[in-house]
Amino acid sequence: MTEQRHEDWDPRAASVKKDQIRAYDDMRERCPVAWSDYQQWTLFRHADVMAVLEDHDTFSNAVSAHLSVPNGMDPPEHTPYRKVIEPYFAPEPMARFEPICREIARGLVSQLAKGETVDVVDALSRPFALHIQCAFMGWPERLHEPLAEWVRKNHRATLARDRQAMAEVAQEFDGYIRDILDARRQAGDQAPDDVTTSLMREQVNGKPMTDEELVSLMRNWTVGELATISASVSILLNYLARHPALMADLKAAPELLPEAIDEILRMDAPLISNRRVTTREVEIGGRTIPAGEKITLLWASANRDEAEFGNPDSYCPHQNASKNLLYGAGIHVCPGAPLARMELQVFMEEFLKQIAAVDSTEGEQPERAMFPTGGFNHLPLIFHGGQTPGTF
């Protein structure tokens, strides 16, 4: 017998929108397994999220009626697609892509206006995410502006919760990918030797992937990359603006960047949540959840759980690394984590080489992104150029 359904919280309440991270901190203490019409069952605690990640039989990734390759699949269907994807993020392809990524980062940082207010989102985070994703996939530069406009339309539709607009935006994006696939096929042997062409040649279970599968895979890669990398850059620069001593430390010792980046993004999540669906009745945190129910795994809360991290805002990268769920865990751990880590490290290296200091603005206020996205929609900062003593 399941308990009577009632709203434990409202994820869209004004108090949550004002500061969603702090609202999640409060819910983790007050009601760590909570029901709402909007998110259904939300898990706030690290231990409960880990229990779900480690039990993919009970908690399925197949949460949508639409094809989602491979993150919306369960084993055994999931396994062959995952095997196809993972080599693209191996050390050798990462090393080949690193100089291209560095050139993009260096160029964007060098163009920053110094000594005046700059919107980080428009000037750095969104362009960086867009340019590196197109470069990684081998897509032409002429797609930069259409995709940038697509990002803006997708953002507006998501904020408005306009399902029709969201469907139209998704269809538009799929059209871009289908045009790319058609162009590669027409080019035949003259098609560029890049990730997109290589994926078109891959086989799953002895057969080439269908266009529907390729579109789904490339959509998931690209939409995820554009959102999370952009959010990550804005979060990192916002944190350094408020912690100048850490910025000085990282300029003096850039080898500390990998663990610093992961720790900052633990405290302030670029990706707020993922979903699962129960395959059977299960008890979590004293709540009975029936089969077929949607579960929201709230990374933005689990990665700040006092039971695991103590004060969630304490910067302790070495101490917290083994428990950090920035890229998930279990069989669905993010396959693109090596790419994301390399891109963010390269960006921060180039940023620290060229920028001596970052200041927040007193008058113009930042605008936070809202669920399901982290980071910022608008982040005004002031950059000061030049090297400081001891920098690399």
Q: What CATH number was assigned to the domain covering residues 14-385? A: 1.10.630.10
As beta bridge partners, residue 273 has 298
At residue 371, the pLDDT reads: 85
At residue 388, the pLDDT reads: 43
88 Cβ contact partners less than 8 Å away, ≥ 6 residues apart: 195, 198, 199
Q: Each residue of 147-183: pLDDT tens digit?
A: 888 877 877 777 676 778 888 888 888 899 999 999 9
Q: Residue 339 above 70 pLDDT?
A: yes
At residue 350, the pLDDT reads: 98
Q: Each residue of 249-272: pLDDT tens digit?
A: 999 999 999 999 999 999 999 999
Would you place residue 145 in the very low, low, confident or very high pLDDT band (cuts 50, 70, 90)? Answer: confident
Would you place residue 390 in the very low, low, confident or very high pLDDT band (cuts 50, 70, 90)? Answer: very low
Find where tokens 């090297």 sit.
387
Q: Each residue of 218-239: pLDDT tens digit?
A: 988 888 888 899 999 999 999 9
What is d(CA 310, CA 317) in angstroms, rounded to the nearest whole number?
Answer: 13
Structure token digits, residue 373: 């996205």
At residue 163, the pLDDT reads: 79
Assign 139 to helix, strand or coil. Answer: coil
What mean pLDDT value characterizes the chain?
93
Assign 304 to helix, strand or coil. Answer: coil
At residue 389, the pLDDT reads: 36
The dihedral of CA 226, 359, 263, 27: what is its sign?
negative
At residue 148, the pLDDT reads: 84
The dihedral of CA 298, 300, 303, 304: what is its sign?
negative
Q: Each residue of 347-387: pLDDT tens digit?
A: 999 999 999 999 999 888 999 998 888 999 999 999 998 76
At residue 155, the pLDDT reads: 73
Whats the size of the chain, residue-wise?
392
The domain spans of the chain are 14-385
Q: Each residue of 280-293: pLDDT tens digit?
A: 999 999 999 999 99
